[in-house]
Structure 1
Amino acid sequence: MSVKTLKIDDKDIAIEEGATILQAAQENGIPIPTLCHLEGVTDVGACRLCLVEIKGINRLLPACVTEVAEGMEIQTNTEKLQEYRKMTVELLFSEGNHICAVCVANGNCELQDVAIQVGMDHTRFTYRFPDRGVDMSHELFGIDHNRCILCTRCVRVCDEIEGAHVWDVAMRGAACYIVSGLNQPWGEVDACTSCGKCVDACPTGAIFRKGETTAEKERDRAKLEFLVTARKKHQWTR
């Protein structure tokens, strides 16, 4: 496979053809914030936090789904990008009902981490306070749609790793939400194997284990890496 040479933040990079800008940055210790990206599943460019500037292209491109090309000159942390990312996080908070003080993932939440990273301490946008439900019909888990950021990590993990296809996205625009089965209560979906992969993949407190209370949801990066190969190696246990 051929190698592509490029610059990221004025640093010379060499990486195999077909790699994404995000992969090139990560392999060279250049941080780019993400929320929808999860190692081992297909990238979809949903959160738009990984937008970068590329010389000669007059629009911002998502690093997770943009392949490297010979001679690319990429900037990952300009003032323009910092402002876009901050605005994106503000919109995520304003369009949902993210009350961190009573969330199971408080203190261990990727949305919180990104908010700190981009310097967001308030939102300039009007809160929508949408009427979103909580589904506690499953024997082991629950989903609180108020905390969901539509990253679709649960959808992709269940589809591509577990192969159960429990989750999907319904509706359009601001009305979008994650559905289980054919818009059934989670506990009534026969396809669910109760593996818990969606719980561990969720970056917020939207999908959680029953019995967890404020700040008790743990997020283990090593476990997320384990999820990628667990099914193939028959290592997953309930």
Structure 2
Amino acid sequence: MPDKITISINGTEIKTEEGKSILSVCKENDIHIPVMCHFPGLTDVGACRLCLCEVKGYNKLLPACTTLVAENMEIQTHTEKLKEYRRVIVEMFFSERNHMCSICVANTNCELQDMATEVGMQHVRFPFLNQECAVDASHPKYVIDHNRCIMCTRCVRVCSEVEGAHNWDVKNRGYNARVISDFDQPWGESETCTSCGKCLNVCPTGALWAKGSVQGKLDKFPEKITDLIEKRGIH
């Protein structure tokens, strides 16, 4: 059995076990930490940086989803510094791609919108990059709109870890990063996609959607993926 350890989160002493992430311990103790790339049961990658925490003894912020707890670790999850940092991150999400919420199929059913409200975003303080991002509608059932992608890689991980198809991957880095199908070919030409729709159900924005969806009427069922993962005992 894992060794029992004692840590401190926001000044409260907590008994837990080695091998757990800060995020999982926070969840067990009803301490909410904002996340966008995390999805229950999928491998954590620390892509969105929203779960960054302050840990005593470290001169940089650490992602709660990929940082394991250790004996006597002192963690702060909601300092003013972190709150401002998270606001900046969300504003950068909006400025980097073209999130036209009013005409998006995921309007009012979007985790990015919810996160903007949670972190108290009032406006975007950064210049919009106005990238020319492609919309791939070559698949007979689904569409991927790169304008609304925040590079959380949930789709990549659910396709690989749950469906086992490995259709999605990421090319390039930073500004030029894109989710690609197979070897960067149109989604409709993919030889690995099973058309299962799991990627649509874990996508936090309107980047992935089923054809026929209309403005503000995108249906997502992330709980189906969570239930499937739990029943399979993947994690």
Do both proteins adopt the same fold according to a TM-score greater than 0.5, normalized to the shorter chain? yes
Give the equivalent residue in structure 2 for 1:92.
93
CA RMSD after TM alignment: 1.2
**Cα offset for 1:8?**
0.8
- Pair 1:184-2:155 in alignment: no
Provide the C-alpha distance between the structure 2 equivalents of 1:223 and 1:120, rounded to a whole number of angstroms: 30
**Cα offset for 1:222?**
2.1
Provide the C-alpha distance between the structure 1 equivalents of 2:67 and 2:104, rounded to a whole number of angstroms: 34
Provide the C-alpha distance between the structure 1 equivalents of 2:218 and 2:34, rounded to a whole number of angstroms: 22
Provide the C-alpha distance between the structure 2 equivalents of 1:70 and 1:207, rounded to a whole number of angstroms: 41
1:37-93 C-alpha deviation (Å, 9 max, x unpaired):
011111000000000011121211000000000111111000000010000001110
Provide the C-alpha distance between the structure 1 equivalents of 2:230 and 2:82, rounded to a whole number of angstroms: 34
Query: Is the contact made by 2:200 and 2:220 (CA closer than 8 Å) also made in structure 1?
Result: no
Query: Is the contact made by 1:197 and 1:227 (CA closer than 8 Å) also made in structure 2?
Result: no
Give the equivalent residue in structure 1 for 2:218.
217
Query: Is the contact made by 2:202 and 2:222 (CA closer than 8 Å) also made in structure 1?
Result: no
Q: 5 Å matches for 1:64-103?
A: 64-103=65-104
**Cα offset for 1:172?**
2.2
Query: Is the contact made by 2:202 and 2:225 (CA closer than 8 Å) also made in structure 1?
Result: yes
Provide the C-alpha distance between the structure 1 equivalents of 2:228 and 2:192, rounded to a whole number of angstroms: 18
2:59 is matched by which residue type in structure 1? N
Query: Is the contact made by 1:37 and 1:43 (CA closer than 8 Å) also made in structure 2?
Result: yes
Give the equivalent residue in structure 2 for 1:41.
42
Q: 5 Å matches for 1:89-238?
A: 89-229=90-230, 232=232
Give the equivalent residue in structure 2 for 1:5.
6
Provide the C-alpha distance between the structure 2 equivalents of 1:222 and 1:164, rounded to a whole number of angstroms: 20
**Cα offset for 1:17?**
1.1
**Cα offset for 1:220?**
3.4
Runs of 4+ in structure 1 off by over 6 angstroms are: none
Provide the C-alpha distance between the structure 2 equivalents of 1:31 and 1:94, rounded to a whole number of angstroms: 26
Provide the C-alpha distance between the structure 2 equivalents of 1:44 and 1:53, rounded to a whole number of angstroms: 18
Identity of aligned residues (%): 55
**Cα offset for 1:7?**
1.0
Provide the C-alpha distance between the structure 2 equivalents of 1:218 and 1:27, rounded to a whole number of angstroms: 29
Provide the C-alpha distance between the structure 2 equivalents of 1:184 and 1:227, rounded to a whole number of angstroms: 29
**Cα offset for 1:229?**
4.4
Provide the C-alpha distance between the structure 2 equivalents of 1:11 and 1:108, rounded to a whole number of angstroms: 34
What TM-score, normalized to structure 1?
0.94
**Cα offset for 1:218?**
2.5
1:83-118 C-alpha deviation (Å, 9 max, x unpaired):
100000011100000011011111011111111000
* SS in structure 2 of the partner of residue 159 of structure 1: helix
Give the equivalent residue in structure 2 for 1:23.
24
Provide the C-alpha distance between the structure 2 equivalents of 1:44 and 1:220, rounded to a whole number of angstroms: 22
**Cα offset for 1:142?**
0.5
Count of aligned positions: 232
**Cα offset for 1:221?**
4.2
1:195 is matched by which residue type in structure 2? C
